[in-house]
C-alpha cells in the first residue's frame, strides 16, 4: 500500500511542479478561485512531504496523505463541476478527475488500516 501512496504523490508533485514551470504562480488562475489556486500551488510542497514521511513509514505521513487527498479531491470536483454539468463524459477522461478521485478514495479507505499497521510495527520494534 505504501508503494501506491509513494507513486501517486510523486506523480502529483511532478504534475503540479510542471504546471508551475509552464504557467508560473498563476498557473491555475484561468479556472480556480484564489483559495484553490493557493492550495494547488501548495501541493508542490505538500505532495513531496507526504512522499518523505510515508517513505520513512511515519504515521504523520499517512495522516497528511489522507488530509491532502480529501482537500485535493474536493478542490478538483469544485473546479471541474461546470465541465461535468455541460458534459458528464468529462469524468471518463483517463487523466483528470476520475483517476484522482479513485486514488483519493484509496488513500482515505486505506489510511486507518495502514495507521494501525504502522503503529503496531512501531510497538513491536520497541
Global pTM value: 0.91
Q: Please count the other Cβ atoms lying within 10 Å of the Cβ belonging to residue 122.
A: 12
| pLDDT (0 to 100) of residue 90 | 85
| pLDDT (0 to 100) of residue 35 | 98
Separation between Cα atoms, residue 65 and residue 104, nearest integer Å? 9
| pLDDT (0 to 100) of residue 95 | 84
| Total residue length of the chain | 126
Name the CA dihedral angle for 112, 124, 126, 121, rounded to a multiple of 10 degrees. Answer: -30
User: E strands along the chain, which residues?
Assistant: none
- Quote the domain boundaries for residue 58: 2-125
What average pLDDT values come out for the chain (126 residues) when binned by 10 residues?
96 97 96 97 98 97 98 97 93 89 98 92 61
Domain count, the chain: 1
User: DSSP secondary-structure letter at 87?
Assistant: -
Amino acid at each position: 500500500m505504501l508503494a501506491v501512496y509513494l507513486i501517486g504523490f510523486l506523480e502529483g508533485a511532478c504534475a503540479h511542479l510542471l504546471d508551475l514551470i509552464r504557467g508560473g504562480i498563476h498557473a491555475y488562475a484561468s479556472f480556480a478561485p484564489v483559495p484553490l489556486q493557493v492550495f494547488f500551488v501548495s501541493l508542490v510542497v505538500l505532495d513531496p512531504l507526504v512522499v518523505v514521511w510515508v517513505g520513512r513509514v511515519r504515521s504523520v505521513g499517512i495522516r497528511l496523505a489522507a488530509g491532502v487527498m480529501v482537500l485535493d479531491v474536493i478542490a478538483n470536483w469544485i473546479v471541474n463541476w461546470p465541465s461535468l454539468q455541460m458534459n458528464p463524459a468529462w469524468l471518463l477522461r483517463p487523466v483528470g478527475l476520475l483517476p484522482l478521485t479513485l486514488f483519493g478514495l484509496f488513500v482515505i479507505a486505506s489510511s486507518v488500516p495502514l495507521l494501525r499497521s504502522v503503529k503496531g510495527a512501531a510497538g513491536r520494534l520497541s
